[in-house]
Structure 1
Amino acid sequence: MSDATRLVAISPLHSPKSPHLPYNRFLFSSFRFVSNFSNCLKIKHTWSLKPLNQQGSIPISSVDSSSPVSIDLKPILNEPQFDRLIHQAQQLHESLVVLWMANWCRKCIYLKPKLEKLAANYHPRVKFYCIDVNNVPYQLVVRAGVTKMPTIQLWKDGNKQAEVVGGHKAYLVANEVREMIDHEDQP
């Protein structure tokens, strides 16, 4: 048996709200077991952060980039805030993507991280938001024409331009949203 054995564990960070550690990175945890005596085992533990590439895999050479890997979807909490954001986007000639979701919806929960990665790809040209339908007045949900969840809508010039109803796999919905954004300027 050798004097030292090394184990490397890879796990996502569990604190997305931490201001010091971006959760869009993976945490490398390296344990080194060193046997100094026959009955004792010394464990040396180290942590390091490695950036992900666009495909979601860990690159061989860690090159830090200034563009984010994912961006948190900003919550919309009420109808006046929704109206204000639509108006601001119209004034600035920007587009908004709004995820209509519920905190109990399993498909919504799986889709949200995919949209956060997509938000990083379109930042700052397109702003991404989420609305929990259980936390806003029902009249806003009806006004937006949301009947199923998750529903992802593209808003431009104060109007709903397109929408995707996500009843299937999250990566397929993310691809449909990407196509919706890429074709927003076409009639």
Structure 2
Amino acid sequence: MSPPGTVHFSPSVRTLQPKTPYRQSRDFSTIPRFLCFSTTTKTISLPSKSVSFPHKIHQLVDGKKIGVSKEWSVQELDDDAPVSVELQPINSETQFDRVVAEVQQPEEPVIIVWMASWCRKCIYLKPKLEKLAADYYPRLRFYYVDVNTVPHVLVARAGVTKMPTIQLWKHGKKQDEVIGGHKAYLVIKDVCQMIENASTI
């Protein structure tokens, strides 16, 4: 017999059930067929030229119509287009002169990236420039110069004082440059702007 004031607990066994995950995986079988781009009977091919939209377009955001005063274009999606294009090395002053001389004829410029193997920013920026080169392929050619492998007279001749330096050469002369001392995405943005500005030179 238990003393007064004693409380008895009866043992119980609880089965632990796994909690329902917060986010269920989406069942893609419920997506309507008209959202798919592929079909079993016909291959859809896009036109070879870019398609431009009017300067004033409207877009629905949260049920509200907003205007976008900018020209939008859809460029061709090419399965054979490279994701990145390796920068071509320039290893001598003679090769540099040949590359620059070739630019005197075509209208499109060349991009020359001055870098060094000890420069961390150069190493980090190079693959991003190779992706950018793919965006302009094959219209533009991208080269790089390792300042440690060429005579210093060539570096001084190009007016390079900091690395990385991205220069645009056209008509046999340096037209513009971007010094990549800041964040990579800002450098890429400046290089794109430099290339676009070259079309007016």
What TM-score, normalized to structure 1?
0.64
Residue matched to 2:183:
169
1:123 to 137, 148, 158: 137
Q: How does 1:1-187 map to 2 (within 5 A)?
A: 65-187=79-201
Name the CA distance, whole Å, in 2 between partners of 1:79 and 1:101: 15
- For the residue of structure 2 that corresponds to 1:164, the secondary structure is strand
Cα distance 1:70–1:79, how it changes in 2: closer, same or farther (>3 A)? same
Deviates more, 1:71-80 or 1:83-92: 83-92
Residue matched to 2:37:
none
Residue matched to 1:60:
none
The amino acid of 2:129's aligned partner reads L
Residue matched to 1:24:
none
Structure number, greater radius of gyration: 2
What TM-score, normalized to structure 2?
0.60
Percent of aligned positions with the same letter in both sequences? 62
Work out whether residues 95 and 125 of structure 1, in 8 Å CA contact, stay in contact via their aligned partners in 2: no
The amino acid of 1:104's aligned partner reads W
Q: How many residues align?
A: 125
- For the residue of structure 2 that corresponds to 1:107, the secondary structure is helix
How far apart are 1:94 and its partner, in Å? 2.9
The amino acid of 2:112's aligned partner reads V
After superposition, the CA RMSD in angstroms is 1.4
How far apart are 1:139 and its partner, in Å? 0.3
- For the residue of structure 1 that corresponds to 2:114, the secondary structure is strand
List gaps (5 residues or longer) in structure 1: 1-62
Can you list the C-alpha shifts for 1:79-136, whole angstroms capped at 9, x where unaligned?
0000001111212333110000001100000100010000000111110000000000
The amino acid of 2:160's aligned partner reads V
